[in-house]
Structure formats: C-alpha cells, structure tokens
Amino acid sequence: MLYIVPTPIGNLKDITLRAQAVLSSVSLILAEDTRVTGKLLQQYEIKQPMKSFHSNNEHNVLDYFGEMLKVGDDIALVSDAGTPAISDPGFLLCRYCREHNIPVTCLPGATAFVPALVMSGLPANRFHFEGFLPPKKGRQTRINILATKEDTIVLYESPHKIIKCLGQLIEILGDRQASLCRELSKMYEEVIHGSLSEIKSNLEARPSVKGEIVLVVEGLYT
C-alpha cells in the first residue's frame, strides 16, 4: 500500500499518532528532501530507510517505486511540510497506483491553506485554491482568471516574490481585502489583515520577508 502522510508545516508536535505509527512500520519512506524529513524522523526516533522523491526526479523513479509496491512493499510518501500532492510532489505516484490497482490511503493532517483560510475572516464555505502561480509564463493569464472568481481565493507565494505578487494582484484584481499568513504554527507566526495595498506597504517597510506565505484574498462578490 502507498500511504500519503502529512507532516507538520512548522511545529513538529503537530504530527499525528497515526502518522508516527505508519512512518515507523513501512518498508520505505519517500521524502521530498531527506534532510528535512530526517529531522522529523529523528525527533520521533523513527529509523525506517528513506529515498528522495521530488519534482526533479519523480518521472524517472516512478516505475522503480511502483514495482516495489507491486511486490508487496508498504511505502509512505511525505513532503517537506503539509500534505503531499497539494502544491507538492505526489500526484504522479498516486495516479500510477490507481492505474495499477495498488491501494492508496491518505492520512488526514496538516496543510497550510486551511488555518490561513479560517483565520482570514473571509468566507470559508466556498473558496478557490490556486496554490502557487506560474513563475513567468502564464502568470498574468492565471491572475486574470482569479479576477473573475466569486469565492475567496487562496494563494501560496515565496517570501522573495510576495511584494511583486501583491502589486500584480492590485493591478488586476483591484485593492481587495486580504489576509497574509507567514510562518504558520511556528514561534513567529504572523497574520496580517487589511487591503492588498496595506499588506504590501507593511511588507515593504521591512528589511526582509521570511517564511513561506499563504495569501487569502476576497472573491469578486465576497
């Protein structure tokens, strides 16, 4: 069986008891970055072997790990933080398993956009999860599409691109209300509420911006 195992997005105490049990019992753990996952495993004294499985090699190693699953090995897939296949590697392996009748189960657990959406104060009953915008080609096209979305919009963005991203959103979507979450579940967790321009001004006043970011923006008819 393939186990999709969410891992903490920051605070290592957020791992579930079931996730610990699965990671301690499988034949192999596939990790986006073995150094990152290694720290988590060390924290909980889990000694199962690891192999790398990330966006740069997943096409090349898919058949190899697929054959392991076919002959009866249990494998756990983890990303650096959160739930695999949510803006992280995992989709290709899940699809492979479904195509070859290999059982797949996904454990419930951490993902960054849920707490950010809930804390935003914007409607959470319906929302559009965009994840990361394309870095270059197709970026403006995607933002133009977001401008038509009626429901709350959830985006991921890296700290060195967030100010530029906010500027692009203001230009195309207008100065909508939003909420920015940074360093979720960590000691320096921060949530900034306000208009897109107010959040942009807040970040521009800082010497630097750190931590992965979730940006929640009101929809067209919020």
Q: Is the pLDDT of residue 136 over 90?
A: no
Share of the chain above pLDDT 70, in %: 100
Residues 115, 184: contact at Cβ < 8 Å? yes
Average pLDDT value for residue range 15-31: 97
Interatomic CA distance for residues 154 and 90, integer angstroms: 20
The string of DSSP codes covering 184-200 is TTSTT-EEEEEEHHHHH
Residues 196, 143: contact at Cβ < 8 Å? no
Instruction: For residue 25, give both structure tokens.
Output: 């019992």
Average pLDDT value for residue range 37-60: 95
Class of residue 59 by CB neighbours under 10 A (exposed 0-12, middle 13-18, buried 19+): exposed
User: Per residue in 194-220, pLDDT tens?
Assistant: 999 999 999 999 999 999 999 999 998
pTM: 0.90
pLDDT at 222: 64
Average pLDDT value for residue range 28-46: 97
pLDDT at 221: 77
Q: Which domains does the chain have, with CATH numbers?
A: 2-106 (3.40.1010.10), 113-217 (3.30.950.10)
Average pLDDT over the chain, rounded to an integer: 95
User: Per residue in 179-199, pLDDT tens?
Assistant: 999 999 999 999 999 999 999
- Dihedral sign, Cα of residue 178, residue 184, residue 185, residue 191: negative
